[in-house]
Structure 1
Amino acid sequence: MLTFHRAGSSGTGFITSTQYADAIPFEVKRVFWTQATPPEVERGHHANMATEEVLIALSGSIHVLTDTGCEKQAFTLTDSTQGLYIPAMCWTELRFSEEAVALCLASTDFSEADYIRDYSRFKQLAAHQEL
């Protein structure tokens, strides 16, 4: 988990920034957001070969299951000043609360070739990486 700088007050509002971006372990090449995902829909179900990401819940909550092939972990993102670092070769599954908005900072531009969308193939590649 990464923590971002927040300034302001409850009377005037807050600004949260990656100004101190040295906490992000890669240069950000792409920024995208996900919104209006119904709570019954599970997103993700993929890993990226090379892309690293930081996932931030700007509003609502996002339940994230991560799987590196060696270890599975669950996270619930609810604080817009914190981001979850997702390394390359990490399978993710996401569930969004009503009205959740997710912001993602990515290390690469989009390329469909970078995506692993078959869990069995991911497990094979992850096992091969451990050797």
Structure 2
Amino acid sequence: MDNMSLINIINFPVLGDGRGTLVALEANRQIPFEIKRVYYIYGTAQGVARGFHAHKALKQVAICLKGSCRFVMDDGKDKQEVILAKPDKGLLIDAMQWHEMYDFSNDCVLMVLADQVYDESDYIREYSKFIEAVNNHVHSSAK
């Protein structure tokens, strides 16, 4: 996987006129999957980092509706950073991508759309286990 493939930004169509701006999101159109869960993070204290996990199968799109935050995306070989700061851009977080979020602005509202309902067994919460899973996948797919 090349480094550029770690960051997959989706540009959403922006509609609007003198009254304001609108972004519409539809499953299997702007969002590349059926949406089964929506959650959002806000009121994150200064200096707090979040994430620090990967998912075995879950796919998500993160959208910073207000303010900004920084993501570090990691495929087990390469890492890349991106700042989300516009409500018309979404970050696709694919399965088996370790992700960490930092530098939340005071007014940050981060919404996440997911293709599955919450399932704790889908999480990989230890980085060493993530690296082990990535290496096992690479070796099994090479056979």
TM-score, normalised with respect to structure 1: 0.93
Preserved CA contact (<8 Å) 2:10 2:89: yes
2:78 alignment partner AA: E
Aligned residues: 130
1:127 is matched with which residue? 135
Q: CA deviation at 1:94?
A: 0.2
TM-score, normalised with respect to structure 2: 0.86
1:116 is matched with which residue? 124
Q: Equivalent residue of 2:134, what SS?
A: helix
TM-superposition CA deviations, 1:58-89 (whole Å, max 9, x none): 00101000101122110000110000001001
Q: CA deviation at 1:20?
A: 7.8
Aligned pairs for 1:81-120 (under 5 A) are 81-95=88-102, 96-120=104-128
Unaligned runs of 5+ in 2: 1-8
Instruction: Give the RMSD, CA atoms, in angstroms.
Output: 1.4
TM-superposition CA deviations, 1:18-68 (whole Å, max 9, x none): 148424322111111111001300000110111000000000101000101
**In structure 1, distance between residues paired with 2:119 and 2:39:** 14
Structure 1 range deviating more: 81-90 or 15-24: 15-24
2:15 alignment partner AA: A
**In structure 2, distance between residues paired with 1:76 and 1:18:** 21
Higher strand share: 1
Identity in percent: 37
Preserved CA contact (<8 Å) 1:2 1:84: yes
2:62 is matched with which residue? 55
Unaligned runs of 5+ in 1: none
**In structure 2, distance between residues paired with 1:61 and 1:86:** 17
